[in-house]
Structure 1
Amino acid sequence: MPMSLEEYQIAQMYMVMKMQQQSTNGDEGVEVLENRPFQDEDFGKGQYTSKVYRLQSKAPVWLTSIAPKDALVMQEEAWNAYPRCKTVIKCPYFTKFSLTVETVHRADNGTSENAHGLNEEQLAARQVETIDIASVATDYWSYAIGSSNFDFSKFKSAKTGRGPLSDGWQDKCHPVMTAYKLVTVDAPYWGFGYRLEQALLAGERALFLESHRNCFGWIDEWFGMTMQQIRELEQKGDCLLNEKISKPILLTDEEDCDQRGVPKFYEDMP
């Protein structure tokens, strides 16, 4: 990513909020159950979130032919102790299924060979893929998730002057950082487990590409924001998400959901 570690933390939070708002309406989208600080021995201090994703219309046809509508209701727990993060996604319908994403962020251009400290057995089983935000995916999931219209071969940030991104930009760009994501899928279902794993890996790949393209494409919207500002924006955004879902959760603090002063991009969302 053509930004510093500190900038990426803001960019990633902003991107998540905006993409959630864009994808939530009526019966589908994101419902935030919890968003609170946490502390434990493994991660230290960070922010814990629990969310429900309703993605029924995005399911491949082959999956909808063998599973009901609820099969694409996903439960996500995330522990964000930046620069380390962990996300676990489960599906109530497929009770044995789980998808785990562990992320390490480093101030380099993708040259760390073993950012997650895997042992020899894990390294032997690992498959490495490099995702370049200057590329554009054209598979099923890229259309299901939605593809941004940024052309980074021509794009230039007005606030930072960064861009365009030409071939080999990772070796020329300063500042630069990399998100190393370790994705583990467990779908022990005879007959279609492998197909389910591959579909979900393809979906994660498309999501990683699109979300990180948006991180950079929206740089002039988030650049210069402080962590306090982004947390306040996040709190308002969580409330708006739950109002958009047709079955919102019970909110206990009405003042947290006061829409006065909500930043413009939330007001413009459908």
Structure 2
Amino acid sequence: MLSNHDAGNCRSAELLKNNGGREGPLRRITSTRTNRGHLGQLALRTLPMSSPSRTFRNPPPVAAETRLGFRKILSALGTLAAATMLVKEYRICMPLTVEEYRIGQLYTICKHSHEVSEKGEGVEVVRNETHIDPVHGRGQLTEKRVHLSSKLPGWARAVVPRIFYITEKSWNYYPYTVTEYTCSFLPKFSIHIETKYEDNCGINENIFGMDCDYEVDFLDIAFDDVPDRHNRSCEDPKHFSSVKTGRGPLKEGWRGSSRPVMCSYKQVEVQFEVWGLQTRVEQFVHKVIRDILLVGHRQAFTWLDEWYGMTLEDVRRFESQMHLATNQKLGHYEA
């Protein structure tokens, strides 16, 4: 589709213990992630202290009611931290089957990564290997570094180092995937994405079993606006027609009439626990994610004739070749 601070480390340790100590996507104990450590410590630091001119050799005992009140305050602050994390579910339909998209997704990701990479910036592949999970079975673990200093908005470039990258870890147990993004320079920033793929037009409500309210955003690969820099006529589903399959171009209402049709359900959690910047950063990141999802799924469909008919072994070979070429393009290996 991925230990950020003291409290985050505690959470990760707890979840890894729950995960049997194995490296893999963290299995969350509940459907929402709480973080009482950070705000709890903040509250303790801001409690009023006694005057410097007046000290107690033996401080007076704190009433049980007062201690209980403090605990309630800290508990409420911890709940607030979880509540303010921005969670959205994106649903993206395509005129493909889930089995077809297994190939198309792998092809599109590595080709797109190669296209957007250039000297010093882009997507560096660190590892791509088989991974066995006790619950989901055999899958693929991929770790990448996304170098994107020049892609940041001006206000963000002012506070980050010149050499800046985000670490992406993805566990692919298709048709279920987990992707996590972290940044060592921004330890309180994280993105967690869970994806499920189904052969329908996005009608499965609460596919992730969430017990809280969240926004659902339907993306239309044919009629939603894309950023100008990605608006290419050859990648426009309204004009693309597949020679190999006869699918396309897509017309108004295509999600209800196209056969086959599938949906990518993506639950995206963005967390940035920095006072004064949280809302702005989380909203910005969600906008970027939405644009990336829209462009990526448009490309998967309009590149259909390039990957249609490939086997899983074929696309894995192509993936290995493109990973090497992309790393060379970035300058991490000698060509």
Q: 1:148 touches 1:210 (CA, 8 Å); kept in 2?
A: no
The equivalent of 2:222 in structure 1 is 134
Measure, in 2, the Cα distance between the counterparts of 1:213 and 1:86: 21
Residue identity in the other structure for 1:29: G
Q: 1:179 to 1:219 in 2, by over 3 A?
A: same
Residue identity in the other structure for 1:147: N
Measure, in 1, the Cα distance between the counterparts of 2:188 and 2:147: 19
Measure, in 2, the Cα distance between the counterparts of 1:232 and 1:99: 29
Q: Which has the larger radius of gyration?
A: 2
- Deviation digits for residues 188-229 of structure 1, max 9, x if unmatched? 001112111111110000000000000001001111111010
Q: 2:293 aligns with which of 201, 205, 208?
A: 208
Measure, in 1, the Cα distance between the counterparts of 2:206 and 2:166: 30
In the alignment, is residue 89 of structure 1 matched against residue 181 of structure 2?
Answer: yes
Give ranges in structure 2 of 5+ residues lacking alignment.
Answer: 1-93
Q: 2:237 touches 2:301 (CA, 8 Å); kept in 1?
A: no
The equivalent of 2:167 in structure 1 is 75
- Deviation digits for residues 12-33 of structure 1, max 9, x if unmatched? 1110011011011111011111
Q: 1:147 aligns with which of 213, 216, 231?
A: 231
Measure, in 1, the Cα distance between the counterparts of 2:157 and 2:225: 23
In the alignment, is residue 189 of structure 1 matched against residue 281 of structure 2?
Answer: no
Q: 2:148 aligns with which of 45, 55, 76?
A: 55
- Deviation digits for residues 107-131 of structure 1, max 9, x if unmatched? 101101111122x3x2x2x110000
Q: 2:180 touches 2:191 (CA, 8 Å); kept in 1?
A: yes
- Deviation digits for residues 143-194 of structure 1, max 9, x if unmatched? 56x3333332232111100011111101111111000000001100011121
The equivalent of 2:138 in structure 1 is 45
* 1:172-251 alignment runs, 5 A limit: 172-248=257-333
Q: 1:31 touches 1:248 (CA, 8 Å); kept in 2?
A: no
Cα deviation for residue 92 of structure 1 reads 1.4
Q: 2:113 aligns with which of 11, 20, 43?
A: 20
The equivalent of 2:89 in structure 1 is none
In the alignment, is residue 100 of structure 1 matched against residue 185 of structure 2?
Answer: no
- Deviation digits for residues 71-91 of structure 1, max 9, x if unmatched? x41000000000000000011
Q: 2:236 touches 2:302 (CA, 8 Å); kept in 1?
A: no
Give ranges in structure 1 of 5+ residues lacking alignment.
Answer: 250-256, 258-270
Q: Normalising by the residue count of structure 1, what TM-score does the alignment of the two structures yield?
A: 0.85
Measure, in 2, the Cα distance between the counterparts of 1:151 and 1:205: 17
Q: 1:52 touches 1:76 (CA, 8 Å); kept in 2?
A: yes
Identical-residue share of aligned pairs (%) = 36
* 1:31-42 alignment runs, 5 A limit: 31-42=124-135
User: Would you say how many aligned residue pairs link Structure 1 and Structure 2?
Assistant: 241
Following superposition, which runs of at least 4 residues in structure 1 exceed 6 angstroms of deviation? none
In the alignment, is residue 111 of structure 1 matched against residue 199 of structure 2?
Answer: no
- Of 237-246 and 180-189, more deviation after overlay is shown by 237-246
Q: 2:197 touches 2:265 (CA, 8 Å); kept in 1?
A: yes
Measure, in 2, the Cα distance between the counterparts of 1:235 and 1:25: 18
Q: 1:109 touches 1:176 (CA, 8 Å); kept in 2?
A: yes
Q: In structure 2, the residue corresponding to 1:69 is in which secondary structure?
A: coil
Measure, in 2, the Cα distance between the counterparts of 1:153 and 1:188: 40
Q: 1:162 aligns with which of 247, 259, 284?
A: 247
